Amino acid sequence: MALINSAAENNITFVQPAYFIISGFIGIPNIRYYFVFLCFIYILAVVGNTLVILVITLDHMLRSPKYIAVFNLAFTDLLSSSALVPKVVDIFLFNHYHISYNDCLTFMFFCFTSIFMQAFNLVVLSFDRVMAIMYPLHYQMRVTHKLILSLIAFFWLLAITLILIAVGLLTRLSFCQSVIIQSYFCDHGPMYRLGCNDVTPNYIFAVLTIVLVLGFPLAFIVGSYCCIGYSLSKISTFRERVKAFKTCTGHLSLVAIYFLPFIFVYAFWPVIHPNARIINLSIATVLPPMLNPIIYVLQTQEIKESLRRLLKARVQAKLEVFRFKPL
C-alpha cells in the first residue's frame, strides 16, 4: 500500500496539467532536414507495408500461418509509422510543441502499443522458424492458423494491457513543477520522472515492461536460434544446411534492425549526448517499419514470386480488355 499512496496522502497538491511541452529536438542545428528525412521514411514505410498487406491479401497461396504473422508485422509497422511520424513532424516542423494532457496519453498509448507489438511479432516469426527447421515433417500439423492467430491475439492483449497500466499509473501523478518532456514524443520515462509524488510504482512497472518487451523476446529469439543451429548441425550436407538457414535470414535481419539500436543506445546511455540519444532513439523507432517490408520482399522467395504472379495477371487482364475492346 505504501507504493500507491496518493499525492493527497503525501500532503502534495494534485496537479493535472492542461498540456505538456515536447522539447526533444529543440535547439539542434539544421534539424529541419531531419524532419524531411522522417517524411521520406514515412512514405516508404506506408508504401512498403501496404504493398506487403495487399500481396498477402490478394494471393491465396500466401495464406500459411507464417504469412499471417508477416501480415500482422506489416500492419503493426504501418500503425507504428502512422502513429508516430506525422505527429512528430507536426510538433517540431510546425512548432506545435504544446500537446494537451489527454492527447499526450493517447499519443503514448498508440506509439508504445505498436512498438511493443513489433518485438512480439518477432517472437511469433521466431517460433515459426524454429518449428519449421526442427520439425519439418510435422510443421503443418503443429503450426496451424489457429495457433498463430492465438499467439498474435495474446500478444496484442499483452501489449495493450501493459500500456494501459502504464498510462493508468501516470494519471495518479501530480505534475506540479515542470511539464516539459525531454523527448521527441510523449515518452513514458521522461513523463513519469516529472511527477512530484511517489514515482516508485511507475519505475518498477517500467523495468518490468522492459524485461517483458525487450528481455523476454530477445532471450526467446536467441534460444530459438541456438535450437536451429543445433538442428542444422545434424544435417549431413553443407548445401542443405545453407538452404535451411537461408529461410531464417529475413527474420534475423528484422531482429538485428529492431534490437541492435536499442541495445546500443541503452548500453552507452551515460556517455551519449542527450540530443544524439534522442535522434538515435527516434531513428531506432522509425527505421524498422520502413526496412521490414523491403527485407521481406527482397529476401523471401514466396513474396517475390507472388508479386510476379500478380503483376503478370494484371498485365494479362489489361491485354484481354484491350484485345476485345470494340473499335
Whether residue 79 has pLDDT greater than 90: yes
CB atoms within 10 A of CB 24: 25
| Res 275: pLDDT | 78
- The reply to whether 5 falls in a domain is no
- The reply to whether 8 falls in a domain is no
Query: Which grid coordinates belong to 99?
Result: 500537446
Whether residue 11 has pLDDT greater than 70: no
- The reply to whether 167 falls in a domain is yes
Q: Which of 64-73, 98-107, 209-218, 290-299 has the lowest mean pLDDT?
A: 290-299
- The reply to whether 321 falls in a domain is no
| Res 234: pLDDT | 82
State how many domains the chain has: 1
* Prediction pTM value: 0.87
- The reply to whether 14 falls in a domain is no
Rounded (10°) angle between helices 145-170 and 65-93: 30
- The reply to whether 76 falls in a domain is yes
φ, ψ for residue 21, nearest 5 deg: -115, 120
- The reply to whether 325 falls in a domain is no
Partnered with residue 100 across adjacent β-strands are 19
Question: Range of 32's domain?
Answer: 23-309
Whichever domain contains 46, its CATH number is 1.20.1070.10
| Res 9: pLDDT | 44
Q: Per residue in 255-290, pLDDT tens?
A: 888 888 888 877 777 777 777 788 888 888 888 999
Whether residue 320 has pLDDT greater than 70: no
- The reply to whether 114 falls in a domain is yes
